[in-house]
Amino acid sequence: RAKQDGRGRVRFFKREMGRQAQERRQLELDLRRAVLFAPQEFEVHYQPVIDVATRSPTGLEALLRWHHPERGLVSPADFIPVAEEIGLIVGLGELVLRRACADATRWSPTLRVAVNLSPAQFRDPRLVETVAEALSDSGLPPGRLELEITEGVLLRRTEATMTTLHRLKSLGVRIALDDFGTGYSSLSYLRSFPFDKVKIDRAFVRDIETSSDDAAIVRAVTGLCERLGMTSTAEGVETEEQFRLVEAERCTEAQGYLFSRPVPASEVPEVLALVTASASPSRIDRCA
Ligand code: C2E
Ligand code: MG
Ligand code: MG
Ligand code: MG
């Protein structure tokens, strides 16, 4: 009987693995189809980034969404790694970059747009050209574009990595280090690379109210940012209490559901108006 159970289990696992491989193949096919023939299924959403001192928006982060005809909304966490593996991220990334630059030209000139770059995009030899073209075609001033890279990009502290970073900087765009603290980061990265901003991963913000370790880590990063002349942004701020604490730990910017979820381009003006209104002291007066 035990032997039979064992065989049954093996059959079950085989079937399960087959099903997962099948699903993965289908996702790859769907992604190819969408990138090549149905780019309208991709939509760029925007989430405001807030200056902690004034509570007013400094810019918005572009976050990709995929409206799959049958699966509905597919999360970027599920399809970006696949796009990266099968060589589709460079084309998809260019689509995001171009739309984000074009959308940002319709906002106040005081607002920046942040675009995420995956490691494969960063290794693409045409990256700097692509960015320069997206800027000149849209007319967006380079200083209003910020590129977010993760620590994965920096793993190879090679000459090529440094050259690309410096060539991007000399276009006039800003560079942010995203999800800081989750990867292989060390504080020494912050002085070896020419970042303008460090985004502290939401893992450190989530429990900041109860974890004095997390608060201490946030404080260490913001202290170093201050000394090195970099902006520090707290990601994933969901509550007023978290906001109060990241302010106390001297983050200069905050981003999260407390202010707004990512919204389609058409809703950006409304969201900016809401954020700006809740920042103004007149509202506090009215509430009092
Ligand atoms: P990320 O760049 O760190 O973006 C922040 C993520 O946190 C977004 O998830 C955002 O919706 C989510 N978020 C913002 N505020 C809060 C909050 O208060 N609480 C919680 N729980 N989450 C919050 P999203 O849009 O699902 O994107 C996930 C990741 O996918 C991004 O992380 C980024 O790494 C990647 N991604 C998104 N769009 C692009 C893109 O156009 N290109 C590339 N290469 N990667 C992208
Ligand atoms: Mg990001
Ligand atoms: Mg992040
Ligand atoms: Mg993230």
Query: How high is the ipTM of this complex?
Result: 0.98
pTM: 0.93
Contact 157, 125 (CB under 8 A): no
Q: Which residues surround the ion ligand 2 when the cut-off is CB under 5 Å?
A: 116, 148, 178
Contact 231, 197 (CB under 8 A): yes
Angle of helix 127-138 versus helix 159-171 axis, rounded to 10: 10
Whose C-alpha lies nearest to ligand 1, atom 23? 236
Which ligand sits nearest to residue 205's alpha carbon? 1
Token duo for residue 262: 């990512």
Give just the sign of the alpha carbon dihedral 226, 150, 272, 172.
Answer: positive
Ligand 1 in reach of 76 Cβ (< 6 A): yes
pLDDT at 235: 98
- Please tell me the distance between residue 200's alpha carbon and the centre of ligand 3 in angstroms: 7
Of the candidates 277, 280, 265, 252, the one whose C-alpha atom is nearest the C-alpha of residue 47 is 265
pLDDT at 91: 95
- List average pLDDT for each run of 10 residues in the chain, which is 288 residues long: 72 80 93 95 98 97 96 95 95 97 98 97 96 98 97 80 94 96 80 92 96 95 96 98 98 98 98 89 49
How far apart, in whole angstroms, are the C-alpha atoms of residue 89 and residue 76? Answer: 11
Q: Atom of ligand 1 at shortest distance to CA of 199? A: 3
pLDDT at 153: 85
Which ligand sits nearest to residue 180's alpha carbon? 3
How far apart, in whole angstroms, are the C-alpha atoms of residue 2 and residue 23? Answer: 31
pLDDT at 3: 66
